Amino acid sequence: MSVVTRFAPSPTGRLHMGHAFSAIRAHDVARERNGRFLLRIEDIDGTRSRPEHVATIVDDLRWLGLTWDGEVVFQSARLSNYAAALEQLREMRLLYRCYCTRAEIAEALSAPHGAVAVYPGTCRHSPARDAPHCWRLDMAAALARCGDLSWTDHGRVVANEALAQGDVVLARKDAPASYHLAVTVDDAAQGVTDVVRGRDLFEVTHVHRVVQALLGLPVPRYWHHELLVGADGERLAKRHGAPTLAALREAGVDGREVAARLRAGVV
């Protein structure tokens, strides 16, 4: 089976060096194996996504010398696919409406009985009412249905510990799908065989594995890479004042040289 990878940025801001690193890794894995590299714009968050960021992302990737195969896919054009997946899970009675506000959840989490960083299940048995709500996955029920799950990361088998993520949101109050649902549905729909992305998404991959099992989707191989750090060992992010790719490009820096340095591990 030929390799298919993807870069899936959210157009909520400008790309920085960490994004470039990730895009290059995913691109090279495909190119080295004669596979396909896809570009997917994760723009389901209608309030934070901006078309001008999409144009900048495209320019940034070209500047780095990266090419992708086929048309760019926009998640905002695929909402009916996420709705169908949600419906499937709802029919399995694995979703429930959650009416909690952010403030209520924060308050529940700061309660002095055990520091659980996951949603405490407040609405799990609430009667349905006419109020804004998101849809959460009843994780314990989902896992009871799936049985033991595993996936591979860098070829090593990882046992599933999705329970630790709690009852994650699969459809938001303000958006018809959450990242977890859309990314899982799309990786399968686009035939992605190898997911190459940052280590910061390792934990939530457990959730994605459960969603794949519930929806009967194929399981890609995962290759979570370490996050790019600066000379001081700190993660490179905007808060450290690192320039965006667009700023470097506009300052006349050669993007292919930047890409070559990143490939050589020199930040």
Q: Which residues bind ligand GLU (CB under 6 A)?
A: 8-10, 42, 183, 197, 201
Q: Letter for the amino acid at 157?
A: V
Within 13 Å, how many C-alpha atoms sit on residue 184's CB side? Answer: 25
Q: Which is nearer to ligand GLU, 122 or 244 (CB)?
A: 244
By beta-carbon proximity to ligand GLU, the closer residue of 10 and 122 is: 10
Q: In the bound complex, what is the minimum distance in angstroms from residue 7's beta carbon to ligand GLU?
A: 7
Minimum distance, C-beta of residue 223 to ligand GLU, in the bound complex (Å):
11
Minimal distance in Å, beta carbon 218 to ligand GLU? 16
Which CB, 27 or 133, lies closer to ligand GLU? 27
Q: What is the DSSP string of 214-247?
A: HHT----EEEEEPPPB-TTSPBP-GGGTPPPHHH
Q: Alpha helix locations (H) across the chain?
A: 17-32, 51-63, 79-91, 102-109, 139-146, 179-189, 202-215, 245-250, 255-263
Minimum distance from residue 132 beta carbon to ligand GLU (Å): 24
Enzyme catalytic residues: 238
Cα 234 to Cα 229: distance, rounded to the nearest angstrom? 5
Nearer to ligand GLU, 138 or 187 (CB): 187
CB 41 within 8 A of CB 54: yes
